[in-house]
């Protein structure tokens, strides 16, 4: 979070009023049936579908994303996520029976119950999808929610508020617009649970605020997600996959590949495959199709990324592909750097742009050792035909999730938990794991 003017007295009064309403209403919402929760979720799904064109227009106004990406990430994924909660909430709400160890004639069970009044703070890279996804899980688990989208996407925040006000009473769920000062004031309230998606730096601020009220947290953060390309892997296919991953949302995804290890003798093939795919997908008559790639979200982030790029080049990195950064419209062309070293800032900070540095190695243990020595990333990607090497990477590293011989797949599978570890996050969600994130597992023992 950055410095901003204090929130107005009116805004503070409103958030306190709504918090009090939700605090008083939480017990009725907690006691709600599966049918009631499903009905709310259905209304939310219907509203998202009804406002699909408005969502596209708002996100494009805020971010210049390609319409196809918005339809997938900010509409279709939300609708599918809500539907999964509708289809599953009745089963998820059922107590889990446990056979008592001392007296089998007694009864014992684990009962999932709502945490209470929750705060959801959304990010700017997928402003609606990564806010309404957690919201659907919170509603399924029987919580009240106060929601704040990022101030970097004001048009999206407004359509989110319109949708929520159509679907929910403010005593159940409410959206707050405004700048960072509004989020700062919200963090002062004694929520039962806080769900935050964003940077590790701000995640520490959120966790410190939660500690003052002993609120539980789910922190979906980021980090430098590595790629290991093992000997014998299909380098041409990998180059194309990495190009597609870095083009997606202009490289502004928390699980975007952040740096690559490849064997020295295969680096040139990787560079060529990356270059060919970028040129095929994004260029026409030598010019980039800007409608096909998202801009960097704002000038401050563009300047940050340019600083990382300039530092790498000044310290000896080679621009193998791309290297064009257009400040006037915040466009960064997909770029691959070779000859990078750990002393360069681009290998020390999360990039969050369509730039990918490449390092070479002689033995896979070198790549593993490099990863072991650094913060645990949100994602790790390993491409290998060798099961023993895959197993070695899994045993010797730690990350929020792993995709083997592909990218993003562990995120897209809703039956897997998605989340980070230590610096890349705390807790997980998606599918049943989202329901669990917004639930307390209550132990109940009944003597007979």
Q: Per-residue DSSP letters for 199-239?
A: -HHHHHHHHHHHHHTT-EEEEE-----EEEE-TTS-HHHHH
Based on the residue annotation, tell me whether 350 is a catalytic residue of this protein.
Answer: no
Residue 381 φ then ψ, to 5°: -120, 130
Mean pLDDT for the chain overall: 96
Based on the residue annotation, tell me whether 326 is a catalytic residue of this protein.
Answer: no
Mean pLDDT of 40-61: 97
In the chain, pLDDT over 90 holds for what percent of residues?
A: 96
pLDDT band at 1 (very low <50, low <70, confident <90, very high): low
Mean pLDDT of 195-218: 97
Q: Which residue has the tokens 């190695």?
A: 361
Q: What is the model's pLDDT at position 245?
A: 97
- Choice among 118, 145, 153, 254 that is catalytic: 254
Q: Which residue has the tokens 């940050």?
A: 304
Sign of CA dihedral 123, 125, 131, 133: negative
Mean pLDDT of 319-337: 97
CA atoms within 13 A on the CB side of 112: 25
Question: Please, which residues have CB within 8 angstroms of residue 35's CB and are 6 or more apart in sequence?
Answer: none
Question: Please, which residues have CB within 8 angstroms of residue 243's CB and are 6 or more apart in sequence?
Answer: 273, 274, 277, 278, 281, 334
CATH architecture of 9-221+424-446: 3-Layer(aba) Sandwich (3.40)
CA 352 from chain centre, in angstroms, equals 12
- Choice among 69, 220, 266, 350 that is catalytic: 220
Query: Residue ranges per domain, the chain?
Result: 9-221+424-446, 226-419
**What digits encode the pLDDT tens for the residues 65-117?**
999 999 999 999 999 999 999 999 999 999 999 999 999 999 999 999 999 99
Mean pLDDT of 214-239: 97
Sign of CA dihedral 232, 235, 236, 237: positive
Torsion of CA 183, 438, 157, 308, to 10 degrees: 70
Query: 439 with 134: CB under 8 angstroms?
Result: no
Q: What is the model's pLDDT at position 8?
A: 85
What are the start-end ranges of the E strands in 72-136?
A: 96-98, 107-114, 117-121
Q: Which residue has the tokens 């979200």?
A: 297
pLDDT band at 49 (very low <50, low <70, confident <90, very high): very high
Q: What is the model's pLDDT at position 7?
A: 77
CATH superfamily of 226-419: Aldehyde Dehydrogenase; Chain A, domain 2 (3.40.309.10)
**What digits encode the pLDDT tens for the residues 269-290?**
999 999 999 999 999 998 999 9
**Measured between alpha carbons, how far is 261 from 270 in angstroms, rounded to an integer?**
11
Torsion of CA 234, 240, 241, 247, to 10 degrees: 160
Of residues 102 and 391, more confidence is placed in 391
User: In the chain, what are the helix, strand and coil shares in percent, each to the nearest 5?
Assistant: 50, 20, 30
Mean pLDDT of 133-144: 98
**Measured between alpha carbons, how far is 136 from 128 in angstroms, rounded to an integer?**
12
With H, G, I as helix, E, B as strand and everything else as coil, classify residue 113: strand
Q: Give the C-alpha distances (Å, rounded to integers) separating 382 from 225, 242, 259, 405.
A: 11, 12, 12, 6
**Measured between alpha carbons, how far is 255 from 246 in angstroms, rounded to an integer?**
10
What are the start-end ranges of the E strands in 297-448?
A: 318-321, 325-326, 331-332, 335-338, 355-361, 379-383, 401-404, 418-419, 425-426, 428-429, 439-446
Mean pLDDT of 186-204: 96
Using the predicted structure, report yes or no on whether residue 56 has a pLDDT greater than 60.
yes
Q: What is the model's pLDDT at position 404?
A: 98
**What digits encode the pLDDT tens for the residues 347-359?**
999 999 999 999 9
Two structure tokens written together for 391: 């197993």
In the chain, pLDDT over 70 holds for what percent of residues?
A: 99
Using the predicted structure, report yes or no on whether residue 2 has a pLDDT greater than 70.
no
Residues in the chain: 448
Residue 179 φ then ψ, to 5°: -90, -165
Using the predicted structure, report yes or no on whether residue 3 has a pLDDT greater than 70.
no
């Amino acid at each position: 979070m950055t410095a901003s003017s204090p929130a107005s007295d009116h805004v503070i009064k409103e958030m306190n009023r709504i918090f009090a309403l939700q605090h008083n209403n939480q017990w009725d919402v907690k006691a709600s049936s599966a049918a009631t929760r499903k009905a709310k979720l259905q209304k939310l799904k219907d509203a998202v579908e009804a406002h699909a064109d408005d969502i596209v227009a708002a996100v494009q106004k805020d971010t210049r994303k390609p319409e196809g990406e918005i339809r997938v990430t900010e509409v279709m994924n939300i609708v599918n996520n809500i539907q999964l909660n509708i289809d599953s909430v009745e089963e998820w709400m059922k107590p889990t029976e446990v056979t008592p160890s001392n007296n089998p004639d007694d009864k014992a069970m684990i009962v999932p119950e709502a945490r209470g009044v929750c705060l959801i703070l959304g990010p700017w890279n997928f402003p609606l999808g990564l806010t309404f996804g957690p919201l659907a899980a919170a509603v399924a688990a029987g919580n009240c929610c106060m929601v704040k989208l990022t101030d970097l996407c004001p048009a999206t925040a407004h359509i989110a508020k319109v949708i929520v006000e159509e679907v929910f009473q403010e005593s159940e769920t409410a959206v707050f617009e405004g700048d960072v000062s509004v989020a700062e004031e919200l963090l002062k309230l004694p929520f039962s649970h806080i769900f935050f998606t964003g940077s590790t730096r701000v995640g520490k601020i959120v966790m410190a605020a939660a500690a003052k009220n002993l609120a539980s947290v789910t922190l979906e953060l980021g980090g430098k997600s590595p790629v290991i390309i093992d000997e014998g892997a299909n380098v041409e296919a990998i180059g194309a996959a990495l190009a597609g991953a870095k083009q997606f949302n202009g490289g502004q995804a928390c699980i975007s590949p952040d740096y690559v290890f490849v064997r020295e003798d295969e680096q040139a093939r990787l560079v060529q495959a990356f270059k060919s795919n970028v040129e095929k997908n994004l260029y026409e008559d030598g010019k980039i199709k800007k409608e096909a790639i998202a801009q960097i979200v704002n000038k401050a982030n563009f300047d940050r990324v340019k600083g990382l790029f300039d530092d790498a080049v000044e310290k000896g990195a080679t621009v193998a592909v791309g290297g064009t950064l257009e400040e006037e419209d915040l466009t960064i062309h997909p770029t691959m750097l070779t000859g990078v070293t750990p002393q360069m800032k681009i290998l020390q900070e999360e990039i969050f742009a369509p730039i990918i540095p490449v390092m070479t190695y002689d033995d896979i243990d070198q790549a593993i050792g490099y990863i072991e020595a650094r913060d645990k990333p949100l994602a790790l990607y390993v491409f290998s035909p060798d099961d023993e090497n895959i197993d070695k990477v899994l045993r010797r590293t730690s990350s929020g999730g792993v995709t083997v011989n592909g990218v993003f797949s562990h995120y897209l599978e809703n039956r897997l938990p998605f989340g980070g570890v230590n610096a890349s996050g705390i807790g997980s969600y998606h599918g049943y794991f989202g329901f669990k994130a917004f639930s307390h597992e209550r132990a109940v023992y009944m003597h007979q």
